[in-house]
């Protein structure tokens, strides 16, 4: 696990050094630079496999014709290595060297053989090109800048900004998307001319031209017609294999344990494969509506883990939030980012590697919004005239009489039901809708965005042949998973030099669950149906842990913003740079903020999005 950087143009050692310094937190164990002509590569190393100097980067093949900088872990690297050892002699035990020779043997087709999380760039000196790639799900980041003269890449935007002659302008389309989604969708980043390589993609940079290709897609169209017992057997086998592969490490390894089903399942599988107690880490809150500490302790007790826990209060939240833009260099508003940073700091005190339960909700339909989609399959049988002339007005009246999160969701469901699925599904999970944004944006921004609509983002990938649940899962996997959850995990963990591995994101497991009929994922509004049944039937977790209500890994941001952190939040929302950014009509923005504090609308996430946007603007503009 590392941070990688590169520069093609008027390159020199000073520039590569600046980029490495800006991303040094990603790899505290070693750093290295390679420059040839106008091409420079750099690496900050976090040593996980083969801790010796043989594993340092940039790394070369035996002919010195290939040079790689690499970030990630290839879990099947020994299997791939065995295929290559007949032709090539290895000098290290690293997966990095396996990637070099896999490229030498198979070229760009090497990606088909790699199972893991990764972002790497290979300088092919013989063919005078750069080949860069990102893993299938987007666990590891790769950002780049290209202006037809200079090509710059890095694991984090901070590395790119450190060597640009001029600060790039703000991308207002990206800001608009961010306010709706709480993250910036690829390839945008918030900065003009700086992009992210999308997941499951690779680039070729040659002769001053950049070309990007997709190499993998998750296929939901082919279903396996097998019974529940067979699904249970397949899932247990695949998950157990995935967990074991991710426990391979030359340094201590542990696990995040929120107390939820996914992280608890990972800890259970780990414990079954370990001859020593697993170290587990948990974050709790003083508000019992958000706290899962007791559930985490219960699982820890069952599997006798070495458990550490910490409670987050508003002051701790404020301390991390103030410093947050130093970690996240794109606009980002998932409020679980704060506890993620604190959790990573807690775990890093005892280890370099932790396993997480990321991916469980996307594999097995675990979010509440999937139940809204499932309910829609029944609601569509209500005559359209009755829906529009009776139910929709009632929903509007309920919201007017008692404006809150529940009545707002009911109104959104009724108002958007006849919209195309790709559009209304985004409404189910959106923060600011178009009306919200237009009401607070400045005239300049509204004019610029007149033809840009965030709610069309899934239109191209919507497949009318798939079930609505499959389309919802496809949407989340292709955007929300990589650009929100995995971005959050990578930046929070790597800010302290911690590697996080997610067994439920194994691409072979995800290809299997994509073949699973929707009824195995949601049945009678019971989310994660077959996954939970497998855990109980195979006695991996007790039923009371598996079937308790889902809470999610979120902070009590609402009560904090309206009480302990109110003065702090208002100060941030009135900062000079934020108000002079030309994004908002400041008078209308004041009205929006006033409405939040004087009513029960409870759009806490919208306010948090404005706060983190203010942080980002104050840091970078």
List, by residue number, the catalytic residues. 2
What pairs with residue 378 in β-bridges?
none
Count CB-CB contacts under 10 A for residue 555. Answer: 22
User: In whole angstroms, what separates CA 601 from the centre of its chain?
Assistant: 28
Both tokens of 520, joined, read: 């195995």
Question: What pairing do the DSSP bridges indicate for beta strands 353-355 and 499-501?
Answer: parallel
What pairs with residue 254 in β-bridges?
279, 354
Q: In sequence order, what are the residues at sequence separation of 6 or more whose Cβ sits closer than 8 angstroms to the Cβ of residue 387? A: 379, 414, 417, 418
How many helices (H) and strands (E) are present in the chain, helices listed first?
Answer: 28, 17
> E-assigned strands of 401-518?
499-501
- Give 567-605 as a DSSP string: HHHHHHHT-HHHHTSSSB-HHHHHHHHHHHHHSS---HH
Distance CA(556)–CA(573), nearest Å, equals 19
Q: Residue 239 in 3-state DSSP?
A: helix
What pairs with residue 154 in β-bridges?
5, 143
> E-assigned strands of 263-412?
279-285, 306-312, 353-355
Q: Is 602 left (phi over 0), alpha (psi -120 to 50) or beta?
A: left
Both tokens of 567, joined, read: 């003065």
206, 312, 362, 621 from 282: Cα distances, Å: 47, 11, 22, 35
Closest by CA to 333, choosing from 407, 429, 467, is 429
Distance CA(285)–CA(292), nearest Å, equals 8
Both tokens of 541, joined, read: 């977790």
Both tokens of 270, joined, read: 């780990």
User: In whole angstroms, what separates CA 210 from the centre of its chain?
Assistant: 25
Question: What pairing do the DSSP bridges indicate for beta strands 143-146 and 129-134?
Answer: unpaired
User: In whole angstroms, what separates CA 227 from the centre of its chain?
Assistant: 32
Count CB-CB contacts under 10 A for residue 431. Answer: 18
The length of the chain, given as a count of residues:
621
Distance CA(474)–CA(297), nearest Å, equals 34
Any alpha helices (H) in 186-227, and if so which ranges? none
DSSP H or E run through 376: helix 368-379
Closest by CA to 191, choosing from 159, 232, 220, 219, is 159
What pairs with residue 100 in β-bridges?
none
Question: What pairing do the DSSP bridges indicate for beta strands 279-285 and 253-256?
Answer: parallel
Cβ distance 265 to 540 under 8 Å? yes
């Amino acid at each position: 696990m590392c941070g990688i950087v590169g520069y093609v143009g008027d390159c020199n050692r000073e520039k590569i050094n600046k980029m490495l310094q800006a991303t040094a937190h990603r790899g505290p164990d070693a750093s290295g630079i390679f420059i040839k002509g106008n091409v420079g590569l750099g690496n900050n190393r976090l040593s996980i496999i083969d801790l010796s100097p043989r594993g340092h980067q940039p790394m070369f093949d035996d002919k010195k014709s290939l040079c790689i900088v690499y970030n990630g872990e290839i879990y099947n690297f020994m299997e791939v290595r065995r295929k290559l050892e007949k032709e090539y002699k290895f000098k290290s035990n690293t997966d990095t060297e396996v990637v070099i020779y896999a490229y030498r043997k198979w070229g760009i087709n090497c990606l088909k053989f790699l199972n893991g999380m990764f972002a790497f760039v290979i300088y092919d000196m013989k063919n005078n090109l750069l080949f860069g790639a990102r893993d299938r799900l987007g666990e590891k980041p790769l950002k780049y800048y290209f202006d037809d003269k200079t090509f710059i890449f890095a694991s984090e935007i901070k590395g790119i900004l450190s060597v640009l002659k001029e600060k790039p302008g703000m991308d207002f389309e990206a800001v608009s998307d961010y306010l709706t989604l709480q993250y910036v969708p690829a390839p945008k980043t918030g900065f003009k001319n700086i992009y992210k390589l999308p997941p499951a993609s690779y680039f070729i940079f040659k002769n001053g031209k950049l070309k990007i290709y997709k190499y993998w897609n998750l296929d939901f169209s082919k279903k396996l017609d097998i019974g529940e017992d067979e699904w249970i057997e397949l899932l247990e086998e695949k998950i157990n294999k995935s967990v074991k592969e991710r426990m391979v490490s030359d340094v201590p390894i542990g696990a995040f344990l929120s107390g939820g089903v996914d992280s608890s399942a990972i800890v259970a599988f780990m414990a079954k494969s370990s001859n020593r107690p697993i170290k587990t880490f948990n974050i709790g809150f003083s508000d019992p509506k958000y706290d899962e500490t007791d559930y985490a302790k219960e699982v820890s007790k069952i599997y006798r883990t070495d458990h550490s826990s910490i409670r987050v209060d508003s002051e701790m939240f404020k301390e991390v939030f103030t410093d947050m833009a130093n970690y996240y260099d794109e606009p980002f508003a998932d409020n679980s980012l704060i506890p993620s940073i604190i959790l990573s700091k807690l775990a890093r005190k005892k280890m370099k590697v932790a396993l997480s339960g990321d991916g469980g909700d996307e594999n097995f339909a675990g979010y509440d919004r999937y139940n809204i989609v499932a309910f829609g399959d029944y609601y569509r049988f209500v005559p359209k005239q009755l829906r529009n002339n009776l139910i929709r007005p009632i929903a509007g009246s309920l919201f007017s009489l008692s404006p809150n999160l529940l009545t707002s969701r009911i109104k959104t469901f009724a108002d958007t039901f006849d919209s195309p699925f790709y559009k209304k599904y985004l409404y189910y999970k959106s923060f600011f809708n178009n009306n919200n944004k237009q009401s607070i944006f400045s005239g300049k921004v509204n004019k610029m965005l007149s033809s840009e609509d965030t709610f069309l983002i899934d239109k191209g990938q919507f497949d009318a042949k798939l079930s609505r649940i499959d389309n919802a899962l496809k949407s989340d996997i292709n955007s929300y998973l990589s650009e929100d959850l995995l971005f959050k995990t990578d930046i929070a963990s790597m800010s302290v030099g911690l590697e996080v591995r997610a067994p439920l994101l194994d691409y072979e497991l995800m290809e299997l669950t994509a073949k699973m009929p929707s009824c195995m994922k949601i049945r009678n509004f019971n989310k994660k149906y077959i996954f939970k049944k497998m855990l109980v039937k195979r006695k991996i977790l007790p039923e009371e842990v598996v079937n308790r209500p889902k809470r999610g890994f979120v902070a009590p941001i609402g009560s904090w913003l309206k009480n302990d952190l109110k003065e702090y939040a208002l100060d941030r929302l009135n900062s000079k740079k934020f108000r002079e950014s030309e994004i908002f009509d400041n008078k209308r923005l004041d009205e929006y903020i006033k409405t939040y504090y004087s009513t029960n609308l409870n759009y806490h996430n919208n306010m948090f999005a404005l706060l983190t946007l203010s942080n980002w603007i104050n840091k970078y503009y």
